Structure 1
Amino acid sequence: MSTIPDALDNSSTIIASLFPEATEREHIFAFLRQMVDGYADEIGSLKVEPTMSKADIAGVMARYDFSGSHAPSAVLGDLVRLMEQGMVHVTSPRYFGLFNPSTSFWGTVADFITALYNPQLAVWSHAPACVDIETKLIRYLATLAGYDPAVAGGSFTTGGAEANCTAMICALNQRVPGFARDGLVGQAARPVFYISAESHLAWVKIALQSGLGHESVRLVGVDAQGRMDVRQLRKAIADDRDNGLLPFMLVATAGTTNAGSIDPLQELAAVSQEQGLYFHVDAAWAGAILLSDRHSHLLAGIQFADSITLDAHKWLTAPMGTGMFICANRRVLSEPFAVTTNYMPVGDDLNLDPYVNSMQWSRRFNGLKLFIPLAILGRGGFAEMIDYQVELGNYLKQSLARDGWEVVNATELPVICIRDTAGADLDAIMAKVLAAGEVWFSITTCGKQKALRTCITSYRSTPQDVDQLVFQLNAARASL
């Protein structure tokens, strides 16, 4: 029998330090339960803005030079203080900022389960249950979008930027001859693509990542409602063709970050078909309304898209890192991303393996963060939440208009951009409101003019929270 070397004799100590024994786990679970219960009770009363200064944070972090160990209770205590006092609370009912919703309890549970089991989703054979869960979700949402679930496909991503980058690679493969083999080297004409001037400018980064460069991006002007102007689009395409360039992709935005505008999807689909362009809809935020019978009509025309981006972490209460790329025909994914290696497990059907249908290789089981809450609440539960937030947005519009604020964007969705009818200094107003820490919103440009941007993002928000936002705005304006 082999003698175990002394260096290996402390394996139990290593295991205990990284995965504590039952007694210590009980203490940690009690701490976590107290933290969850306290968070649920206190999130509405916490200051939305960080209350710790950079120096305060540095003071806590100075204790950790990683040269020695610390008691778990001390580390967790410091971390809770940093989380409670050292960040903007995007899950607060009085956070009216960017597309960062309150996470559901079930999404949090899903994140914990995923981290505990840590499944590897590169190949089906390693995590067949997990891959099948994600496949079911993708096909379900594809069906809501109007796709045929028998041929539709997609993948979970880290977010909208990765999903949109996936769309770019698929479009290049579909519309630029020889791209998968030769890339952009030797192309007779520069490929160009079209996005709204109000689109998410992650597309500029994506152009660089894909090798196209910034000169391939065409920012198309918008109409008075912030939607892509179809006449300007047609002219841009004609000009590019006349100049010997190769138009290959058109991107519509469903729910712009600035103003919640939805591009004219049906008209853009017609242009794409007529011009032979790959048509992608970036519905990272507003794609959630596919679950609502009352509001899904706003996305009419999305069924004609070759692919869609949808982020569950923007309006479907999932924790961060829950994006999706959904395509009408899964073949558009397998063609550019299919590879074979001698070290990957080989299953009966290679098409089931996520790594050959995605930009990612090894990756996290992100789909569980949507599966658990959707399985428990059902489509009806999410539809009720979305419809409620749209109505709360309407209540906010009415309250602002009553108090002399002008709503300057046009959307049925709960993004409300405002200016003071008397021309008050919006930067000063925002600074005063954020300094008070009671509510949070942002500032942007809407129609080439500065505007305060508010958005209903939390299922926790109530009419009383909206009243507090309006009160803070009015008080800051009056103080000037």
Structure 2
Amino acid sequence: MSRLNPILAGSAQSTEAYRQAIAQSSEAVAQWLQQPEMYQGKTVAELRERITLDFNPQGLGNQAAIERAIEYFLKDSLAVHHPQCVAHLHCPSLVVSQAAEVLINATNQSMDSWDQSPSATIIEMKLIEWLRTQVGYQPGDAGVFTSGGTQSNLMGLMLARDAFFARQGHSIQQDGLVGNLKKIRVLCSEHAHFSVQKNMALLGLGYQSVTLVKTDRFSRMDLNDLQEKLAQAEANGEQILAIVATAGTTDAGAIDPLRAIAELAAERQIWVHVDAAWGGALLLSEKYRDYLDGLELVDSITLDFHKQFFQTISCGAFLLKEARHYELMRYQAAYLNSEFDEAQGVPNLVSKSLQTTRRFDALKLWMGLEALGQKQYAEIIDHGVTLAQEVAQYVSEQPSLELVMQPQLASVLFRYRTQQLSDAGDTALALFNQKIGDVLLESGRANVGVTEADGVTCLKLTLLNPTVTLEDIKVLLALVEKTAEQIAA
């Protein structure tokens, strides 16, 4: 055991092994960051063949294990910092976020009870207080850091469900689901994140409970159709458990009319949850903060910091407008959040989370805000939105490129289209654009998204990288056109 120094501890031998392992790994990362390719271009089959789990009974030692990880993982990883890597809501990370990971991993705090994470608990609570202030909520600390948008959406829908039944005098926590569940509905836009359906299935109400509301030409929830769907539900004897609004749809970056939705829901006492996993970054914006008008009116909010806040995965948060709703999920365990602790004012965050053991991911956001300051943070968030507008203008000027939708956040939807392709029909045009995306990734030169917008297959640029310029995107678009010409030939 002494040869491998397997446990991080305070001994001289352990700390020296730690320094060596971190130095070896960080030097490998520094070299990897300099590689010109976005991806080494290996296929699924090639990676299956290449990667083997060859565990030595005696162990290889730290140095050899790290060398194997560099060879089989790092070198074949996608370079998300590369200017041509623009397919997904998958951001490059702040340098200070990487530093935060070192502190998080070394200390290995668990956020379920104060006695496992004393300073970390207080920092997270203060960050939640600060985030609530940014939203416009009343002072308080009702909220928690999460693994990301899907988990935060689950929390919003679960508390909406439990509050819905509590108003009818029934405790889901104690007695489970009752009544005619087929008559319960959740409304969201047809472009809402798939986790709405996924989470309603997890909550025992199924996909059938989700009613999709039509959207306008910018993929935003249509208020007229929302009112019609509400009227239809009432006429059918159905009850609305919640309305899920989206602030930043995955493809178009569309933000639903939050204020109008909240006002409609308030008239009917319907819970509103906003999935602001992407658009929530505009809380810090100096140019586009008004896009989130009305956010302060809703019951719960999803935020993600591993998107346009540029934090390492994973880092998200859930905010709850009224702390009293946390009582719907409270559970006391003597070994974590005892009544004695609570009587002494000891904060144990397990009461606020779906997780028990949980990483101190809040440190990354705190260090990011401290390192950059709000003004610089606002600038790098706004950069992507402004760049998307510039790219859209450029695309619209190119004869063989067609802008599919005006950008709203930091994404651009477009397609390659010539007269010859148009004459070949919609199916041929769709397949051709799909092929462009596939060929670019296979070549390792670029990762461009392929998606659909109102039935139109298109290419997507998600411009989350604050170091990318319009000139970088012009190079990428030239590569798209060159690839298209090669495919056509």
TM-score with structure 2 setting the length = 0.89
Q: Which of these residues, 19, 26, 32, is aligned with residue 33 of structure 1?
A: 26
Comparing 197-206 with 423-432, greater Cα deviation is found at: 423-432
The equivalent residue for 1:464 is 471
**Secondary structure of 2:2's match?**
helix
Contact 1:51 1:85 in 2 (8 A): no
Any residues of structure 2 matched to 1:305-320 within 5 Å, and which? 305-320=298-313
Cα 1:26/1:353, change in 2 over 3 Å: closer
Q: How does 1:314-353 map to 2 (within 5 A)?
A: 314-333=307-326, 335-344=327-336, 346=338, 347=341, 348-349=343-344, 352-353=347-348
Q: 1:200 and 2:200 equivalent?
A: no
- 2:262 matched residue in structure 1: 269
1:5 matched to which residue of 2? none
Unaligned runs of 5+ in 2: 423-428
Residue 412 of structure 1 is aligned with which of 408, 412, 427? 408
Counterpart of 1:151? 140
Match of 1:121 among 111, 121, 139: 111
What is the rounded CA distance, in whole Å, between the counterparts of 1:262 and 1:188 in structure 2?
30
Aligned to 2:238: 245
Is residue 82 of structure 1 aligned with residue 72 of structure 2?
A: yes
SS in 2 for 1:408: strand
- 1:375-417: CA deviation from partner (whole Å, max 9, x where unpaired): 1111112101012222222222122222132211233322110
Question: CA contact under 8 A between 1:93 and 1:459: conserved in structure 2?
Answer: no
Contact 1:97 1:457 in 2 (8 A): no
Question: Deviation at 1:166?
Answer: 0.2
Q: Deviations over 1:257-299 (max 9, x none)?
A: 0211111111111111112110111000110011012111011
Residue 169 of structure 1 contacts residue 336 of structure 1 at CA under 8 Å; is this kept in 2?
A: no
1:15-414 alignment, distance < 5 Å: 16-19=5-8, 21-42=14-35, 45=36, 47-54=37-44, 56-62=46-52, 64-148=54-138, 150-151=139-140, 153-176=142-165, 177=168, 178=170, 179-186=172-179, 190-333=183-326, 335-344=327-336, 346=338, 347=341, 348-349=343-344, 352-404=347-399, 405-414=401-410
Partner AA of 2:265 in structure 1: S
SS in 2 for 1:314: coil
Deviates more, 1:283-292 or 1:150-159: 150-159
* Separation of aligned partners in 1, 2:88 and 2:210: 25
Q: Distance in 2 between matches of 1:189 and 1:73?
A: 58
Which stretch shifts more, 272-281 or 419-428? 419-428
Tell me the alpha carbon deviations over residues 317-367 of structure 1, each in whole angstroms, 9 at most, x when there is no partner.
Answer: 11112111012222222x122112232254245683211122122211111
Whole-angstrom CA distance in 1 between matches of 2:39 and 2:241: 44
The whole-number CA distance in structure 1 between the counterparts of 2:457 and 2:337 is 55
Does the CA contact (< 8 Å) of 2:25 and 2:66 recur in 1?
A: no
- Does the residue aligned with 1:258 lie in a helix, a strand or coil? coil
Q: 1:93 to 1:349 in 2, by over 3 A?
A: farther
Write the deviation string for residues 113-143 of structure 1: whole angstroms up to 9, x where unpaired. 1111111211224322111111111121211
Q: Which amino acid aligns with 2:357?
A: S
Separation of aligned partners in 2, 1:351 and 1:194: 38
Aligned partners of 2:245 and 2:256 also within 8 Å = yes
For 1:462, give the aligned amino acid.
T
Per-residue Cα deviation, 1:86-136 (whole angstroms, up to 9, x for no partner): 233223222111111101111111112111111121122432211111111
Q: 1:134 to 1:317 in 2, by over 3 A?
A: same
Identity %: 26
**SS in structure 2 at match of 1:250:** strand
Gaps of 5+ in 1: 1-11
Q: Find the counterpart in structure 2 of residue 4 from structure 1.
A: none
Superposed CA RMSD in Å reads 2.1
